[in-house]
A and B are shown apart, each in its own frame.
Chain A
């Protein structure tokens, strides 16, 4: 199958691209919201990693009936349903914390938050 090499691994290439792109955004961006966007993309790539190999072209749900012979594996779908719930919960919690950070710090830029923390630390050190 040398001719279809790229196409054969198409889903894996997409998965890995999303994975690395998401992780890169988490690391490179200083904006807390953008970091969460990257994190969500990173997590979504994992859904694809599980789902894509479980699907057979032309396969149906595993129902025992004479007219079907090719079935897709349903287990990855169930697993990823759980993972999606986890991902949504993480994103919601991350956004909630970001709202609180905006309320108390007045910014959602990581370097400004660090600077504010360092300033507090400096005044605490000066007192002691």
Chain B
């Protein structure tokens, strides 16, 4: 068999192998090379899988040649290949960035461990996306979560430790809820393969264990994806983690959890007798609207730029789940597009903030927190950084010509298709909140005079180039939507074909 037939396995194995190698090498530079190589190889594999799914639709890969449902199956459909591209692509950009970024944030003798954890986290996230086995999802979920807790705890501020601990408690409760739900499904059907589960559950009558399974899985995954009001762990975790970690997590971790939710709602519970009787879309609609307004409103009053955009993330997750709550092809398409667009937009913002605090650090000291009083008049000294944040901020608002506009446009179309025009109004109103918090940054950075005697220069190129690749990405995907919307539509159609 040729190499391309084994891409699904290589997708996970390459980054997974890079992590222990990084630990064995015990050297920051070598670890960097090997984990980055692993991430780029994973990105190449994701591109290959995206091309393959474009031709054949669904790839089913049998690990160890054991046929499903007995063996573990790796299953790549259009949606999975799209999320794989987002995760591995972000890692491929963030890793070169971390080379410079962690110099001032993490003690040098710990660098190799940082890269090892990053490799593990990447492998876990890719594994969640690609696997077609429910218990396997739990294992990969915990691989990525455990490495994420370590990555957050590497932040220099001691509050990073408290944030990491809180995330560990919340994340473990979420993952355990998830595995309880899987347990119920296994007791009912005797299978763990997702496709097989979906088929067998069709004949399971509307029963209480099925309801319990759906509830446990939904709540467990919602904790991981920071669905309002289960988002309490997120703001501190994003604020105090090292810059590169924040950017990577903001673009991938919550998005992969959304993917798990979509996978279970459509592929497992989609055809059960119980789903039509439950007000799931209504609950999700309510929570999404609350997230869009409450979290964006809270963002306005934050003094720390990182925390501001962390709250913005919770609000933006609201848009993603809003699309799902429409329970239609167009709504799901909008969700999937926004999942991607928000991923690259938020990664760009957090990378630029990382460059900003790097340059603000005096004499190679630990970078300070990006509070607004430190940002006065910054646009004169860091024009590229500030302009990048403004462009990505416009994408958060949804200004035409940016990626954010595309996803909001499709969300509004989906709402109108449902005939719910008040939701259109809600989307536009909550965008005004985004205008407010982005404007706070613009006002301080562009219109306030800089304090006397400050001489910081622009962030180094090693930090600016990766960030600007993503900024250009937000404009590119705002103008040329054939890749994002095209793939998302195909993915949504695949999901609903299962659901019919």
Which of A23, A83, A120 is packed against the most chain B CB atoms within 10 Å?
Answer: A83
> If A46-B180, A50-B183, A90-B142 touch, does A79 touch B135 (CB 8 Å cutoff)?
yes
**Top 3 A-B residue pairs of the complex, sorted by shortest distance between their CB atoms:** A128-B373, A104-B158, A86-B142
Would you call B165 and A101 a contact (CB within 8 A)?
A: yes
Find the A residue at minimum CB distance from B165. A97
Chain B residues positioned under 8 Å from A89 (CB to CB): 142, 146
From B149, B187, B369, B371, contact of A97 by CB (8 A): B149
**In the complex, what residues of B have CB within 8 A of residue A117's CB?**
159, 162
Bound form: Cα–Cα A46–B158 in Å: 33
Q: Say yes or no: A49-B183 contact (C-beta < 8 A), given A89-B146, A93-B146, A97-B149.
A: yes
Are B172 and A43 interface neighbours, CB within 8 A?
A: yes
User: CB within 8 Å of A: which of B360-382?
Assistant: 369, 371-373
> How many interface contacts (CB-CB < 8 Å) are there between A and B?
77
Q: Does B325 contact A (CB under 8 A)?
A: no
Please name 11 further chain A to chain B contacts, defined as beta carbons within 8 Å, in addition to the given A39-B169, A101-B158, sorted by A numbering.
Answer: A39-B173, A42-B173, A50-B186, A97-B149, A100-B153, A101-B161, A105-B158, A105-B162, A117-B159, A117-B162, A125-B303
Q: Please judge, given known A-B contacts A26-B173, A43-B172, whether A86 and B139 are in contact too, CB under 8 Å.
A: yes
Interface of A is mostly: helix
> Per DSSP, are chain B's interface residues mostly helix, strand or loop, or mixed?
helix
By the criterion CB–CB under 8 Å, are B173 and A82 in contact?
no
Q: List 18 A-B contacts (CB under 8 A).
A: A26-B169, A32-B165, A35-B169, A39-B169, A43-B176, A46-B176, A46-B183, A83-B179, A86-B138, A86-B139, A93-B149, A98-B165, A101-B165, A104-B158, A113-B162, A117-B162, A124-B303, A128-B303
Q: Which of A80-117 contact B (CB under 8 A)?
A: 82-83, 86, 89-90, 93-94, 97-98, 100-101, 104-105, 113, 117
B37 interfacial contact with A, CB 8 Å: no
Q: A86-B139, A94-B168, A105-B158 are in contact. Are A42 and B371 (CB under 8 A)?
A: no
When chains A and B are docked, how far (Å) is the Cα of A128 from the Cα of B373? 6
Which residues of A are interface residues toward B (Cβ below 8 A)?
A: 19, 23, 26, 32, 35, 39, 42-43, 46, 49-50, 53, 76, 79, 82-83, 86, 89-90, 93-94, 97-98, 100-101, 104-105, 113, 117, 120, 124-125, 127-128
- The reply to whether A128 and B173 contact each other, CB–CB distance below 8 Å, is no
Which B positions have Cβ atoms within 8 angstroms of A? 135, 138-139, 142, 146, 149-150, 153, 158-159, 161-162, 164-165, 168-169, 172-173, 176, 179-180, 183, 186-187, 303, 369, 371-373
How many whole Å from B117's CB to the nearest CB in chain A? Answer: 11
Chain B residues within 8 Å of A97, by CB: 149, 153, 161, 164-165, 168
CA distance A82 to B183 in the complex (A): 14
Closest to A39 in B: B172
- Residue of chain B at shortest CB distance from A90: B172
Please give, as numbers and ranges, the residues of chain A lying within 8 Å of B150 by CB-CB distance.
93
Q: Closest A-chain residue to B184, C-beta based? A: A49
B96 to chain A, nearest CB (A): 28
Most chain-B CB neighbours within 10 Å: which of A76, A89, A93, A124? A93
By a CB distance below 8 angstroms, the chain A residues around B303 are 124-125, 128
Distance of A101 Cα from B161 Cα, bound (Å): 6
